[in-house]
Structure 1
Amino acid sequence: MADEVTKVQVAQPGGDTIFGKIIRKEIPAKIFYEDDQCIAFHDIAPQAPTHFLVVPKKPIDQLSKAEDSDAALLGHLIIVAKKCATQVGLSKGYRLVVNEGPDGGQSVYHIHIHVPPDRMASWLTSLYWKCKLLVIITMCNTWK
């Protein structure tokens, strides 16, 4: 959790990203889908047993920076996410998550769709309570 918070705090829009390097095959990734517009690969730090990303080859920093001309590409990403979810066995349910900006938890400024299983809802609830507990413990230690 602390690593994710740190990544969000230091992430900056603009410039090359780890996803650009994966797209250009400069660094390894477990890519299981690729076409002329996007790639899909398993998350290097999965938040669930099956967690993959769908990333456009066109570098768009954030969803808020997408333009009307990107509509077809964004729709294509959703269709690819659906196909890939079935391919990796998530046919019973999954989520499509796009983090936007620092307050939305965006840690890589190249738009991408996280596709975790629906079971992640219970994982997020668990994480929420763990974070609350961590805050309480920190406050108690501060008062000593």
Structure 2
Amino acid sequence: MALHEIKNCGSGNFVAPNVPFCNMKPLLIVEAPKANDAIAFYKAAFGAHEVGRTMESKRMADQEIPLILAAELEIGGFTFYVSDFIHDSDNIPRTGGNNIVMILETEDVIAAIAKAVSAGAVVEREIVKGARRGCMGWVKDPYGFVWNILSL
């Protein structure tokens, strides 16, 4: 079936096949050329480990810092990506802003928040203790993303 038929639902008889997914990995897009700084922050604040990185091969001038197309980071077995955003690029779709909250689970919420703040994050809300979960708090990183840190 042609792509335009899928977009337009063809004759109305189209049934999408069951497509299994094996994983989901968020991509955090930061203003260029700050992805390298964001990666350093995630390492310092959350103990992220860098798995790999793909750099932009083209540079406008020799003195320019190469941009990061995608850096793969891992926190506690969870993988996410960080990328530089260039306003005139068609490679990355534009979103409505930082409408994502990353959730981290830990046994020591207070220590995790303190570590993130010492690395440059800002506390978004007071730490709350809940009946179903131990406690949770929120920090905003220097790149505008909110991290919900909670214990079970």
Q: State if a TM-score over 0.5 links the two structures.
A: no
Structure number with larger C-alpha Rg: 2
**Counting strand residues as a fraction of each chain, which structure ranks higher?**
2
**Counting helix residues as a fraction of each chain, which structure ranks higher?**
1
TM-score interval, normalised by the smaller of the two chains: under 0.3
